[in-house]
Structure 1
Amino acid sequence: MTEPANETRLAAAAMPLGLFVYTLLYGGMTVLAGVLAYKQVQLWPTELAVESGIFAFLLLVVISSTLAQLYGEKIANRIVWFGFIPLLIASALMQLVLHLPASPEMLSNPDRLEDLAAFERVHSTLWRIWMAGPAAYIVSLLLNVWIFSRLRGSSEGASTLSLMARGAVASALSQAIDSVIFITLAFYGQFDITNLLIGQVIAKVALSLVLVPFLITGGVAFARWLDRR
Protein backbone atom coordinates (compact mmCIF):
# COMPACT_ATOMS: atom_id res chain seq x y z
CA MET A 1 0.00 0.00 0.00
CA THR A 2 1.35 3.43 -0.94
CA GLU A 3 2.32 6.02 1.66
CA PRO A 4 -0.44 8.54 0.71
CA ALA A 5 -3.03 5.80 1.07
CA ASN A 6 -1.69 4.94 4.52
CA GLU A 7 -1.82 8.60 5.55
CA THR A 8 -5.42 8.85 4.34
CA ARG A 9 -6.48 5.81 6.37
CA LEU A 10 -4.66 7.08 9.46
CA ALA A 11 -6.36 10.47 9.14
CA ALA A 12 -9.77 8.81 8.83
CA ALA A 13 -9.10 6.62 11.85
CA ALA A 14 -8.00 9.66 13.86
CA MET A 15 -11.25 11.55 13.16
CA PRO A 16 -13.21 11.88 16.43
CA LEU A 17 -16.31 9.71 16.47
CA GLY A 18 -18.43 12.64 17.65
CA LEU A 19 -17.35 14.73 14.67
CA PHE A 20 -18.09 11.85 12.30
CA VAL A 21 -21.60 11.23 13.69
CA TYR A 22 -22.56 14.91 13.76
CA THR A 23 -21.29 15.42 10.21
CA LEU A 24 -23.60 12.64 8.99
CA LEU A 25 -26.53 14.06 10.94
CA TYR A 26 -25.79 17.56 9.67
CA GLY A 27 -25.97 16.49 6.03
CA GLY A 28 -29.34 14.81 6.57
CA MET A 29 -30.80 17.86 8.30
CA THR A 30 -29.83 20.21 5.46
CA VAL A 31 -31.97 18.16 3.07
CA LEU A 32 -34.85 17.57 5.48
CA ALA A 33 -35.16 21.26 6.35
CA GLY A 34 -35.97 22.12 2.74
CA VAL A 35 -38.61 19.38 2.41
CA LEU A 36 -40.37 20.22 5.68
CA ALA A 37 -40.48 23.94 4.82
CA TYR A 38 -43.38 23.38 2.41
CA LYS A 39 -45.86 23.11 5.29
CA GLN A 40 -46.67 26.03 7.57
CA VAL A 41 -47.97 25.15 11.03
CA GLN A 42 -50.00 27.37 13.33
CA LEU A 43 -48.53 28.68 16.56
CA TRP A 44 -51.43 27.96 18.90
CA PRO A 45 -53.20 29.84 20.42
CA THR A 46 -52.31 32.70 18.03
CA GLU A 47 -52.94 32.92 14.29
CA LEU A 48 -49.24 33.26 13.61
CA ALA A 49 -47.57 30.57 11.54
CA VAL A 50 -44.14 29.03 11.14
CA GLU A 51 -42.69 26.90 8.35
CA SER A 52 -41.94 23.39 9.56
CA GLY A 53 -38.35 23.40 8.35
CA ILE A 54 -37.55 25.35 11.51
CA PHE A 55 -37.32 22.13 13.51
CA ALA A 56 -34.59 20.62 11.33
CA PHE A 57 -32.85 23.99 11.02
CA LEU A 58 -32.60 24.42 14.77
CA LEU A 59 -30.77 21.09 14.87
CA LEU A 60 -28.32 22.50 12.32
CA VAL A 61 -27.71 25.42 14.67
CA VAL A 62 -27.16 23.07 17.59
CA ILE A 63 -24.77 20.85 15.63
CA SER A 64 -22.72 23.77 14.25
CA SER A 65 -22.40 25.30 17.73
CA THR A 66 -21.45 21.92 19.19
CA LEU A 67 -18.74 21.46 16.57
CA ALA A 68 -17.42 24.97 17.19
CA GLN A 69 -17.29 24.28 20.93
CA LEU A 70 -15.45 20.96 20.68
CA TYR A 71 -13.45 21.07 17.45
CA GLY A 72 -13.04 24.78 16.74
CA GLU A 73 -14.56 27.51 14.59
CA LYS A 74 -12.62 26.45 11.49
CA ILE A 75 -14.02 22.91 11.55
CA ALA A 76 -17.56 24.19 12.19
CA ASN A 77 -17.38 26.61 9.25
CA ARG A 78 -16.05 23.85 7.02
CA ILE A 79 -19.00 21.61 7.88
CA VAL A 80 -21.40 24.49 7.15
CA TRP A 81 -19.90 24.97 3.69
CA PHE A 82 -19.85 21.23 2.96
CA GLY A 83 -23.53 21.15 3.96
CA PHE A 84 -24.21 22.58 0.51
CA ILE A 85 -23.22 19.27 -1.10
CA PRO A 86 -26.16 17.08 0.08
CA LEU A 87 -28.49 20.06 -0.43
CA LEU A 88 -27.44 20.53 -4.07
CA ILE A 89 -27.43 16.79 -4.81
CA ALA A 90 -30.93 16.42 -3.32
CA SER A 91 -32.16 19.36 -5.39
CA ALA A 92 -30.68 17.90 -8.59
CA LEU A 93 -32.15 14.45 -7.91
CA MET A 94 -35.58 16.01 -7.25
CA GLN A 95 -35.49 17.78 -10.60
CA LEU A 96 -34.42 14.55 -12.30
CA VAL A 97 -37.29 12.57 -10.77
CA LEU A 98 -39.81 15.27 -11.66
CA HIS A 99 -38.75 15.20 -15.31
CA LEU A 100 -38.63 11.41 -15.67
CA PRO A 101 -41.86 9.87 -17.03
CA ALA A 102 -44.07 7.96 -14.59
CA SER A 103 -44.57 4.23 -15.05
CA PRO A 104 -47.56 3.00 -17.12
CA GLU A 105 -48.95 1.24 -14.03
CA MET A 106 -48.98 4.50 -12.11
CA LEU A 107 -50.63 6.41 -14.96
CA SER A 108 -53.35 3.80 -15.44
CA ASN A 109 -54.32 3.48 -11.77
CA PRO A 110 -56.66 6.33 -10.64
CA ASP A 111 -55.45 6.18 -7.03
CA ARG A 112 -51.79 6.18 -8.04
CA LEU A 113 -52.48 8.97 -10.51
CA GLU A 114 -53.76 11.15 -7.65
CA ASP A 115 -50.61 10.35 -5.67
CA LEU A 116 -48.49 11.32 -8.67
CA ALA A 117 -50.34 14.61 -9.12
CA ALA A 118 -49.93 15.46 -5.43
CA PHE A 119 -46.22 14.56 -5.52
CA GLU A 120 -45.55 16.72 -8.58
CA ARG A 121 -47.70 19.60 -7.34
CA VAL A 122 -45.81 19.79 -4.04
CA HIS A 123 -42.29 19.22 -5.26
CA SER A 124 -42.51 21.26 -8.45
CA THR A 125 -43.20 24.36 -6.34
CA LEU A 126 -40.24 23.71 -4.03
CA TRP A 127 -37.79 25.43 -6.38
CA ARG A 128 -38.14 28.77 -4.58
CA ILE A 129 -37.58 27.03 -1.25
CA TRP A 130 -34.55 25.21 -2.63
CA MET A 131 -33.18 28.59 -3.79
CA ALA A 132 -34.12 30.55 -0.66
CA GLY A 133 -32.82 27.85 1.67
CA PRO A 134 -29.12 28.02 0.70
CA ALA A 135 -29.08 31.83 0.87
CA ALA A 136 -30.57 31.91 4.37
CA TYR A 137 -28.63 28.79 5.37
CA ILE A 138 -25.13 30.06 4.63
CA VAL A 139 -25.68 33.54 6.08
CA SER A 140 -27.35 32.43 9.30
CA LEU A 141 -25.20 29.40 10.13
CA LEU A 142 -21.88 31.12 9.46
CA LEU A 143 -23.17 34.02 11.56
CA ASN A 144 -24.19 31.58 14.31
CA VAL A 145 -20.72 30.01 14.42
CA TRP A 146 -19.05 33.44 14.36
CA ILE A 147 -21.17 34.88 17.21
CA PHE A 148 -20.87 31.67 19.27
CA SER A 149 -17.07 31.66 18.89
CA ARG A 150 -16.66 35.39 19.53
CA LEU A 151 -18.67 35.19 22.75
CA ARG A 152 -16.36 32.45 23.93
CA GLY A 153 -13.40 34.80 23.80
CA SER A 154 -10.12 33.32 24.96
CA SER A 155 -11.68 31.08 27.59
CA GLU A 156 -11.19 27.39 26.90
CA GLY A 157 -12.69 26.17 30.17
CA ALA A 158 -16.10 27.71 29.71
CA SER A 159 -18.76 26.65 32.18
CA THR A 160 -22.00 24.92 31.25
CA LEU A 161 -23.92 28.11 32.00
CA SER A 162 -21.65 30.07 29.67
CA LEU A 163 -22.10 27.43 26.97
CA MET A 164 -25.88 27.65 27.27
CA ALA A 165 -25.91 31.46 27.21
CA ARG A 166 -23.63 31.67 24.16
CA GLY A 167 -25.72 29.10 22.33
CA ALA A 168 -28.95 30.96 23.06
CA VAL A 169 -27.67 34.38 22.01
CA ALA A 170 -25.95 33.17 18.85
CA SER A 171 -28.96 31.11 17.80
CA ALA A 172 -31.53 33.85 18.50
CA LEU A 173 -29.67 36.50 16.49
CA SER A 174 -28.75 34.28 13.57
CA GLN A 175 -32.20 32.70 13.32
CA ALA A 176 -33.99 36.06 13.30
CA ILE A 177 -31.89 37.03 10.27
CA ASP A 178 -32.44 33.62 8.70
CA SER A 179 -36.21 34.06 8.98
CA VAL A 180 -36.23 37.40 7.18
CA ILE A 181 -34.07 36.08 4.32
CA PHE A 182 -35.82 32.74 3.88
CA ILE A 183 -39.47 33.80 4.17
CA THR A 184 -38.98 36.77 1.85
CA LEU A 185 -37.18 34.80 -0.87
CA ALA A 186 -39.36 31.68 -0.63
CA PHE A 187 -42.88 33.04 -0.28
CA TYR A 188 -43.02 36.76 -1.13
CA GLY A 189 -45.65 37.37 -3.81
CA GLN A 190 -47.42 34.04 -3.26
CA PHE A 191 -49.43 35.24 -0.24
CA ASP A 192 -49.31 37.79 2.55
CA ILE A 193 -46.16 36.77 4.43
CA THR A 194 -46.65 39.12 7.40
CA ASN A 195 -48.04 36.55 9.86
CA LEU A 196 -45.62 33.88 8.69
CA LEU A 197 -42.63 36.22 8.99
CA ILE A 198 -43.61 37.46 12.45
CA GLY A 199 -44.42 33.93 13.61
CA GLN A 200 -41.15 32.59 12.23
CA VAL A 201 -39.05 35.21 14.00
CA ILE A 202 -40.93 34.81 17.29
CA ALA A 203 -40.77 31.00 17.12
CA LYS A 204 -37.07 30.82 16.26
CA VAL A 205 -36.05 33.36 18.87
CA ALA A 206 -38.23 31.71 21.52
CA LEU A 207 -36.99 28.22 20.73
CA SER A 208 -33.42 29.52 20.61
CA LEU A 209 -33.78 30.88 24.12
CA VAL A 210 -35.75 27.96 25.56
CA LEU A 211 -34.52 24.80 23.80
CA VAL A 212 -31.18 25.48 22.12
CA PRO A 213 -29.15 25.97 25.35
CA PHE A 214 -30.17 22.53 26.60
CA LEU A 215 -29.77 20.89 23.20
CA ILE A 216 -26.25 22.28 22.83
CA THR A 217 -25.32 21.14 26.33
CA GLY A 218 -26.67 17.68 25.56
CA GLY A 219 -25.01 17.68 22.14
CA VAL A 220 -21.61 18.54 23.59
CA ALA A 221 -21.96 15.88 26.29
CA PHE A 222 -23.00 13.25 23.73
CA ALA A 223 -20.10 14.09 21.40
CA ARG A 224 -17.64 13.84 24.29
CA TRP A 225 -19.11 10.47 25.21
CA LEU A 226 -18.69 9.28 21.63
CA ASP A 227 -15.12 10.54 21.48
CA ARG A 228 -14.21 8.54 24.59
CA ARG A 229 -15.40 5.30 23.00
Structure 2
Amino acid sequence: MATASTPAPLSRSLFIFSILYGGMTCIAGVLAFKQVALGPLAVESGIFAFLMLVVLSSAVAQVHGRRTADRLVLFGFFPLALSILLIFLVLSLPASAEMPPENLSAFERVLSQTPRIMAAGPVAYGVSLLLNVWIFSALRGATGDGSVGMMARGAIASALSQSVDTLIFITLAFYGEFPIGSLLLGQMLAKVALSAILVPPLIILLVRLARWLDSPSSGTRRSADPA
Protein backbone atom coordinates (compact mmCIF):
# COMPACT_ATOMS: atom_id res chain seq x y z
CA MET A 1 0.00 0.00 0.00
CA ALA A 2 1.37 3.41 -0.98
CA THR A 3 2.22 5.76 1.84
CA ALA A 4 1.99 9.51 1.78
CA SER A 5 5.32 11.22 1.31
CA THR A 6 6.62 13.18 4.26
CA PRO A 7 6.90 16.90 3.47
CA ALA A 8 10.33 18.45 3.67
CA PRO A 9 10.92 20.11 7.03
CA LEU A 10 10.66 23.89 7.11
CA SER A 11 13.81 25.51 8.42
CA ARG A 12 13.53 27.55 11.58
CA SER A 13 14.67 30.78 9.91
CA LEU A 14 12.17 30.46 7.06
CA PHE A 15 9.36 29.76 9.52
CA ILE A 16 10.17 32.82 11.67
CA PHE A 17 10.81 35.11 8.71
CA SER A 18 7.53 34.05 7.08
CA ILE A 19 5.58 35.00 10.20
CA LEU A 20 7.31 38.38 10.36
CA TYR A 21 6.72 38.89 6.63
CA GLY A 22 2.98 38.27 6.93
CA GLY A 23 2.74 40.72 9.80
CA MET A 24 4.53 43.45 7.86
CA THR A 25 2.17 43.11 4.89
CA CYS A 26 -0.80 43.76 7.19
CA ILE A 27 0.59 46.65 9.23
CA ALA A 28 2.16 48.67 6.39
CA GLY A 29 -1.14 50.16 5.24
CA VAL A 30 -2.12 51.26 8.75
CA LEU A 31 1.24 52.90 9.47
CA ALA A 32 1.03 54.81 6.18
CA PHE A 33 -1.51 57.22 7.65
CA LYS A 34 1.19 59.05 9.61
CA GLN A 35 3.89 61.09 7.91
CA VAL A 36 7.15 61.50 9.77
CA ALA A 37 9.87 64.09 9.31
CA LEU A 38 13.38 62.68 8.92
CA GLY A 39 15.49 65.78 8.62
CA PRO A 40 14.48 67.44 5.35
CA LEU A 41 12.56 64.35 4.21
CA ALA A 42 8.86 63.77 4.79
CA VAL A 43 7.85 60.13 4.39
CA GLU A 44 4.78 58.08 5.16
CA SER A 45 5.46 55.67 8.01
CA GLY A 46 4.36 52.60 6.08
CA ILE A 47 7.76 52.67 4.38
CA PHE A 48 9.35 51.21 7.52
CA ALA A 49 7.18 48.09 7.32
CA PHE A 50 7.70 47.93 3.57
CA LEU A 51 11.47 48.16 3.95
CA MET A 52 11.25 45.23 6.37
CA LEU A 53 9.51 43.29 3.59
CA VAL A 54 12.43 44.15 1.33
CA VAL A 55 14.95 43.08 3.98
CA LEU A 56 13.15 39.83 4.76
CA SER A 57 12.70 38.83 1.11
CA SER A 58 16.34 39.67 0.36
CA ALA A 59 17.59 37.67 3.34
CA VAL A 60 15.46 34.69 2.30
CA ALA A 61 16.80 34.95 -1.27
CA GLN A 62 20.36 34.98 0.09
CA VAL A 63 19.94 32.00 2.43
CA HIS A 64 17.25 29.90 0.77
CA GLY A 65 17.35 30.94 -2.88
CA ARG A 66 15.37 33.13 -5.24
CA ARG A 67 12.55 30.64 -5.82
CA THR A 68 11.78 30.48 -2.11
CA ALA A 69 11.89 34.28 -1.84
CA ASP A 70 9.51 34.60 -4.81
CA ARG A 71 7.10 32.20 -3.12
CA LEU A 72 7.34 34.22 0.08
CA VAL A 73 6.31 37.36 -1.83
CA LEU A 74 3.42 35.57 -3.53
CA PHE A 75 2.22 33.96 -0.29
CA GLY A 76 2.26 37.46 1.21
CA PHE A 77 -0.87 38.21 -0.82
CA PHE A 78 -2.88 35.91 1.49
CA PRO A 79 -2.49 37.88 4.75
CA LEU A 80 -2.74 41.11 2.75
CA ALA A 81 -6.03 40.07 1.13
CA LEU A 82 -7.43 38.66 4.37
CA SER A 83 -6.63 41.86 6.27
CA ILE A 84 -8.40 43.92 3.59
CA LEU A 85 -11.49 41.68 3.76
CA LEU A 86 -11.56 41.89 7.56
CA ILE A 87 -11.30 45.69 7.38
CA PHE A 88 -14.29 45.81 5.02
CA LEU A 89 -16.22 43.46 7.33
CA VAL A 90 -15.51 45.45 10.49
CA LEU A 91 -16.32 48.76 8.81
CA SER A 92 -19.65 47.37 7.58
CA LEU A 93 -20.74 46.17 11.04
CA PRO A 94 -22.66 48.63 13.23
CA ALA A 95 -20.63 50.26 15.98
CA SER A 96 -21.56 49.80 19.62
CA ALA A 97 -23.61 52.62 21.08
CA GLU A 98 -21.08 52.77 23.93
CA MET A 99 -18.24 53.68 21.57
CA PRO A 100 -17.40 57.41 21.75
CA PRO A 101 -18.16 59.13 18.41
CA GLU A 102 -14.67 60.64 18.19
CA ASN A 103 -13.11 57.18 18.55
CA LEU A 104 -15.37 55.77 15.82
CA SER A 105 -14.57 58.72 13.55
CA ALA A 106 -10.82 58.24 14.05
CA PHE A 107 -11.10 54.49 13.44
CA GLU A 108 -13.04 54.93 10.21
CA ARG A 109 -10.77 57.75 9.05
CA VAL A 110 -7.68 55.55 9.38
CA LEU A 111 -9.09 52.34 7.94
CA SER A 112 -11.44 53.68 5.26
CA GLN A 113 -9.69 53.90 1.91
CA THR A 114 -10.92 54.55 -1.61
CA PRO A 115 -11.15 51.58 -3.98
CA ARG A 116 -8.27 53.04 -6.01
CA ILE A 117 -5.95 53.05 -3.01
CA MET A 118 -7.07 49.56 -2.00
CA ALA A 119 -6.28 48.27 -5.50
CA ALA A 120 -3.02 50.20 -5.88
CA GLY A 121 -1.45 48.75 -2.73
CA PRO A 122 -1.41 45.05 -3.72
CA VAL A 123 -0.31 45.81 -7.30
CA ALA A 124 2.61 47.94 -6.13
CA TYR A 125 3.47 45.36 -3.47
CA GLY A 126 3.64 42.42 -5.88
CA VAL A 127 5.59 44.15 -8.64
CA SER A 128 8.12 45.90 -6.39
CA LEU A 129 8.88 42.96 -4.08
CA LEU A 130 9.32 40.47 -6.94
CA LEU A 131 11.54 43.05 -8.65
CA ASN A 132 13.59 43.44 -5.46
CA VAL A 133 14.18 39.69 -5.22
CA TRP A 134 15.10 39.47 -8.91
CA ILE A 135 17.61 42.36 -8.79
CA PHE A 136 19.14 41.19 -5.50
CA SER A 137 19.62 37.68 -6.88
CA ALA A 138 20.75 38.79 -10.36
CA LEU A 139 23.57 40.91 -8.92
CA ARG A 140 24.89 38.04 -6.80
CA GLY A 141 27.40 36.91 -9.38
CA ALA A 142 28.80 40.41 -9.82
CA THR A 143 29.26 41.27 -6.14
CA GLY A 144 29.77 37.88 -4.50
CA ASP A 145 28.46 36.78 -1.11
CA GLY A 146 30.68 38.89 1.12
CA SER A 147 29.16 41.42 3.48
CA VAL A 148 30.13 44.40 1.32
CA GLY A 149 28.72 42.84 -1.83
CA MET A 150 25.54 41.79 -0.04
CA MET A 151 25.04 45.30 1.30
CA ALA A 152 25.59 46.81 -2.16
CA ARG A 153 23.07 44.43 -3.72
CA GLY A 154 20.57 45.20 -0.98
CA ALA A 155 20.89 48.96 -1.42
CA ILE A 156 20.62 48.83 -5.22
CA ALA A 157 17.71 46.38 -5.29
CA SER A 158 15.80 48.24 -2.58
CA ALA A 159 16.31 51.68 -4.12
CA LEU A 160 15.16 50.56 -7.56
CA SER A 161 12.24 48.46 -6.36
CA GLN A 162 11.06 51.16 -3.96
CA SER A 163 11.15 53.73 -6.75
CA VAL A 164 8.99 51.43 -8.87
CA ASP A 165 6.67 50.86 -5.91
CA THR A 166 6.21 54.60 -5.47
CA LEU A 167 5.60 55.15 -9.19
CA ILE A 168 2.97 52.41 -9.37
CA PHE A 169 1.17 53.20 -6.14
CA ILE A 170 0.93 56.99 -6.49
CA THR A 171 0.00 56.79 -10.17
CA LEU A 172 -2.74 54.19 -9.65
CA ALA A 173 -4.07 55.79 -6.46
CA PHE A 174 -3.94 59.51 -7.23
CA TYR A 175 -3.37 60.21 -10.95
CA GLY A 176 -6.01 62.61 -12.22
CA GLU A 177 -7.05 63.77 -8.74
CA PHE A 178 -4.18 66.27 -8.27
CA PRO A 179 -0.68 66.90 -9.68
CA ILE A 180 1.49 64.01 -8.51
CA GLY A 181 4.93 65.08 -9.79
CA SER A 182 6.22 66.62 -6.56
CA LEU A 183 4.75 63.80 -4.47
CA LEU A 184 6.45 61.18 -6.67
CA LEU A 185 9.81 62.93 -6.50
CA GLY A 186 9.69 63.49 -2.75
CA GLN A 187 8.67 59.94 -1.91
CA MET A 188 11.26 58.43 -4.27
CA LEU A 189 14.07 60.50 -2.77
CA ALA A 190 13.00 59.54 0.74
CA LYS A 191 12.76 55.85 -0.08
CA VAL A 192 16.10 55.78 -1.91
CA ALA A 193 17.78 57.47 1.05
CA LEU A 194 16.23 55.07 3.56
CA SER A 195 17.08 52.11 1.31
CA ALA A 196 20.73 53.13 1.31
CA ILE A 197 20.88 53.71 5.06
CA LEU A 198 18.65 51.06 6.62
CA VAL A 199 18.37 48.11 4.26
CA PRO A 200 22.02 46.95 3.82
CA PRO A 201 22.91 46.48 7.52
CA LEU A 202 19.53 44.90 8.26
CA ILE A 203 20.03 42.34 5.48
CA ILE A 204 23.41 41.40 6.94
CA LEU A 205 21.83 41.09 10.40
CA LEU A 206 18.98 38.87 9.21
CA VAL A 207 21.23 36.67 7.07
CA ARG A 208 23.47 36.05 10.07
CA LEU A 209 20.43 35.41 12.24
CA ALA A 210 19.05 32.94 9.68
CA ARG A 211 22.33 31.03 9.51
CA TRP A 212 22.49 30.89 13.30
CA LEU A 213 18.89 29.69 13.57
CA ASP A 214 19.53 26.98 10.98
CA SER A 215 22.89 25.87 12.36
CA PRO A 216 23.20 22.45 14.07
CA SER A 217 23.84 24.19 17.39
CA SER A 218 20.34 25.72 17.27
CA GLY A 219 18.73 22.31 16.81
CA THR A 220 17.81 22.51 13.12
CA ARG A 221 19.44 22.54 9.73
CA ARG A 222 19.21 24.90 6.80
CA SER A 223 16.91 23.88 3.99
CA ALA A 224 18.51 24.21 0.57
CA ASP A 225 16.51 25.75 -2.24
CA PRO A 226 18.91 26.85 -4.99
CA ALA A 227 17.92 29.82 -7.09
Report TM bin, short chain: 0.7 to 0.9
Residue type of the partner of 1:151? L
TM-score (norm 1): 0.86
The alignment's C-alpha RMSD in Å is 2.0
Distance change in 2, residues 1:161/1:78 (3 Å): same
Asked whether the 8 Å contact 1:50–1:196 carries over to 2, the reply is no
Q: Distance in 2 between matches of 1:181 and 1:105?
A: 41
Q: Which residue of 1 aligns with 2:182?
A: 195
Q: Distance in 2 between matches of 1:115 and 1:31?
A: 21
Q: Which residue of 2 aligns with 1:81?
A: 74
Partner deviation per Cα, 1:80-100 (whole Å, 9 max, x = no partner): 000000000000000000001
Partner deviation per Cα, 1:65-86 (whole Å, 9 max, x = no partner): 1000000000000000000000
- Could you list the runs of 5+ residues in structure 1 that have no partner in the other structure? 107-111
TM-score (norm 2): 0.87
Q: What SS class does the counterpart of residue 104 from structure 1 fall into? A: coil
CA deviation after TM superposition for structure 1 residue 183, in Å:
1.8
Distance change in 2, residues 1:44/1:158 (3 Å): closer
Q: Distance in 1 between matches of 2:214 and 2:164?
A: 33
Counterpart of 1:113 (choices 91, 94, 101) is 101
Distance change in 2, residues 1:113/1:71 (3 Å): same
Partner deviation per Cα, 1:159-211 (whole Å, 9 max, x = no partner): 11111111111111111111111122233455543433222101111111122
Residues 1:21 and 2:31 aligned together: no
Give the % identical residues. Answer: 60
Residue type of the partner of 1:117? S
Q: Which residue of 1 aligns with 2:86?
A: 93
Q: How does 1:144-155 map to 2 (within 5 A)?
A: 144-153=132-141
Counterpart of 2:117 (choices 129, 133, 145) is 129
Q: Distance in 1 between matches of 2:22 and 2:49?
A: 11
- Could you list the runs of 5+ residues in structure 2 that have no partner in the other structure? 219-227
Distance change in 2, residues 1:42/1:189 (3 Å): farther
Residue type of the partner of 1:167? G
Q: Which residue of 1 aligns with 2:56?
A: 63
Aligned residues: 215
Residues 1:211 and 2:201 aligned together: no
Q: What SS class does the counterpart of residue 49 from structure 1 fall into? A: strand
Q: Which residue of 2 aligns with 1:33?
A: 28
Asked whether the 8 Å contact 2:30–2:110 carries over to 1, the reply is no
Q: What SS class does the counterpart of residue 213 from structure 1 fall into? A: helix
Counterpart of 2:145 (choices 135, 158, 164) is 158
Counterpart of 1:184 (choices 150, 171, 179) is 171
CA deviation after TM superposition for structure 1 residue 125, in Å:
2.3
Q: Which residue of 2 aligns with 1:109?
A: none
Residues 1:225 and 2:212 aligned together: yes
Q: Distance in 1 between matches of 2:140 and 2:61?
A: 10
Partner deviation per Cα, 1:35-68 (whole Å, 9 max, x = no partner): 11223334433xx532221110000000011000
